[in-house]
Amino acid sequence: MKGKPSLTIAVCAWLCAAAGVLPAVAAHTNVFSLQQCFELALKRNLDVRIERATTDVARFGLGAAYGAYDPVLSIEASHAYIDAPGDFSPQKHNFDFPYTMDTDHGGAGLAGLLPWGMNYTLESETGRKSATTDFNINPGDAAEYPWGIRNTNNAFARASMALRQHLLKDSWIDQSREVLAIRRAELKMSEAALRMEILKTMLGVELAYHDLASKRELVRVEEAGVKMREAFLGETRRRVEVGDQPPLDLQHAETLLQNTVTALAAAREAWISGQNALKALVSDDFRAWADETLDPAATSSVIPPAASLQRSFQLALRQRPDLLEARLAIERSNVAVRFRYNQLFPSLDLVGRLGSSAVEPDASQAISTMLRQGDPQYMYGIVLTMPLTRTGQRNDYRRSKAEREISQLQLKRAEEGVLVQVADWVNRVESRYSQVGSTAKARSYAEAALAAEQKKLQNGLTTPYFVLQYQEALTAAQRAEVLAVADYLKAQAQLAFAEGSTLDRYHLAVEVR
């Protein structure tokens, strides 16, 4: 695929493209290069689109985890009225006089959590009280007020700030930070899974493309065989008619022609099946493509392998998205271990509160006095909370370590599996390249042998039976060569997938965001 321009595909635009703004499929036969098939598949393939949506889910989940640090604002306003009857009080020598009181109250608060584990609460309130007390049940007290009624009112204002900082448990990590770290790892894992799905889709497209190209060549081989046998049948019929050959030779030639026609029908059937397999990978609406014919642009050139086992090992360990996903699973397990270890500590919290309040005849004076810290208040201290047993926390910690060990072993197993896969495909690439050479030589020898046998037939030195055998040998050699080239190209695709180098091989840059 040398000389093809680099194609940059932004995955974030795939869904938009697939939603209905893609170009219409042209009718009838369409000639597609492998690069074009890649582009169509990455835009339309449903598995890729599903994985892309899964990545969006993980991204939104991470965004939701940041909601733990959203401040919470509360605002309240109220009015209260009390009409209290007179009553006696055993602690006092006189009555509690009847009164009515109106209270207007308003307040606001802001509370939240900071990323380093500090809880904060900011509160403010203001209000006004207005009361009317009736002293007429006691003439002595009533004489002090006009008509025995006392009217009183005042306003108050208060503001405070409270802080709580964890020093041991929930200090360097708490549940909110654990969730954030896990969601970050899961987003990266989802992106790695998306890249892996892209590689799988590209591998499927490439295998289907080479398979389709080989099926097209096999159709051409069988068509050439039919023409060759038709020509030979015509020559045989002429010779039988003039008495140079027995009628049995004509029947033999007819049989081989019909066998070749049958093989051609089977090859065309396989060609249609290959069409459907490729269409299923590059489209999301098979019905729209059902009447189309995808024709590979050209047979890919056979380039000698340049694989190095150790280099392929390094590429696979560095580039395979599934290995990256397994490493991120260990990172996620490490977060859980850190959190569970932190939960073994007792709670030691530094607490503090600072505020101011004021009471004045009206609200504006009360607020002004409060802002000047008319009646300051403060508090600070340390709170220690220690469970007598930590059975649950200890076992949770041990469980998280065991889960991390499982993740580490799964990574090791995945790496070993990838290395075996790479070694296998390096060997197959080399073996199948040698088969390309040997089948090409066999086809060349079969062509030469058939040409020589045909000359012998013209000179009366052989029989048509042997010519037909050489024709069969040539067709078989042609089939073998076509399949050997296809197998070699497929093996190269499988090796690139095993290395994780498919994108680099075809100069594709996939941006996942």
Note the pLDDT tens digit of each residue in 109-146.
999 999 999 999 999 999 998 888 877 877 777 778 78
Same domain, 280 and 425: yes
Q: Are 213 and 486 in contact (CB under 8 A)?
A: yes
Let me know if residue 241 belongs to a domain: yes
Q: What secondary structure does DSSP assign to 301-368, as a single string? A: P-------HHHHHHHHHHH-HHHHHHHHHHHHHHHHHHHHHHTTSPEEEEEEEEEEEEEESSHHHHHH
Q: 277 and 144, same structural domain?
A: no
Residue 404 DSSP SS3: helix
Cα 357 to Cα 221: distance, rounded to the nearest angstrom = 98
Q: What is the mean pLDDT of the chain?
A: 87
Residues 271 and 208 sit within 8 Å (Cβ to Cβ)? no
**Residue range 319-340, pLDDT digits in tens:** 999 999 999 999 999 999 999 9
The long-range contacts involving 406-412, CB below 8 angstroms and separated by at least 24 positions, are 407/326, 407/329, 407/330, 407/332, 407/333, 408/330, 410/326, 410/329, 411/323, 411/326, 411/327, 411/329, 411/330
Tell whether 343 is covered by a domain.
no
Is the model's pLDDT at 15 over the cut of 50? no
- What is the pLDDT at residue 379? 93
Which runs of consecutive H residues, i.e. helices, occur in 165-242?
175-242
* CA atoms of 439 and 260, how far apart (whole Å): 21
68 domain residue, yes or no? no
Tell me, yes or no, whether 270 and 402 share the same domain: yes
Parallel, antiparallel or unpaired: strands 72-84 and 293-296: unpaired
Nearest to 423 by CA among 307, 302, 305: 307
Same domain, 433 and 500: yes
Domains contained in the chain, number: 2
Residue the block writes with tokens 């097209």 = 216
Domain assignment present for residue 48? The answer is yes
Minimal CA–CA distance to 134: which of 89, 81, 87, 90?
A: 87
Helix-strand-coil percent breakdown of the chain, rounded to 5?
60, 20, 20
Establish if 80 belongs to a structural domain: yes
Same domain for 205 and 328, yes or no, is yes
Residues 138 and 218 in one domain: no
Categorize the per-residue pLDDT at 14 as very low, low, confident or very high, splitting at 50, 70 and 90. Answer: very low
Q: What CATH number has the domain bearing residue 42?
A: 1.20.1600.10
Q: Which residues contact 492 (CB under 8 A, 6 or more apart)?
A: 305, 429
Residues 132 and 240 in one domain: no
Tell me the sheet residues that pair with 83: 100
DSSP letter string over 252-297? HHHHHHHHHHHHHHHHHHHHHHHHHHHHHHH-S-HHHHTT-EEEES
Residue ending a domain, among 325, 358, 385, is 385
144 and 281, same domain (yes or no): no
Residue 27 pLDDT more than 50? no
**Whether residue 318 is found in the same domain as residue 427:** yes
How does pLDDT run across 36-83, given as a tens digit for each residue?
A: 899 999 999 999 999 999 999 999 999 999 999 999 999 999 999 898
C-beta of residue 384 within 8 angstroms of C-beta of residue 302 = no
Q: How much of the chain, in percent, has pLDDT values that exceed 70?
A: 92
pLDDT for 28: 55
Encode pLDDT of 159-205 as tens digits.
999 999 999 999 999 999 999 999 999 999 999 999 999 999 999 99
The model carries a pTM of 0.82
Query: 437 and 329 in one domain?
Result: yes
Q: What is the pLDDT of residues 340-388, one digit of tens each?
A: 999 999 999 999 999 888 888 888 888 888 888 768 889 999 999 998 8
130 forms beta bridges with 102, 153
| Same domain (yes/no): 52, 88 | no
Contact of 323 with 317, CB cutoff 8 Å: yes
Are 261 and 207 found together in one domain?
Answer: yes
- In this structure, the strands spanning 149-166 and 118-134 are antiparallel
Measured between alpha carbons, how far is 212 from 496 in angstroms, rounded to an integer? Answer: 20
Does residue 23 lie in a domain region?
A: yes
Domain that holds residue 144: 73-169+348-385
d(CA 225, CA 112): 81
Q: Is residue 28 part of a domain?
A: yes
409 found inside a domain: yes
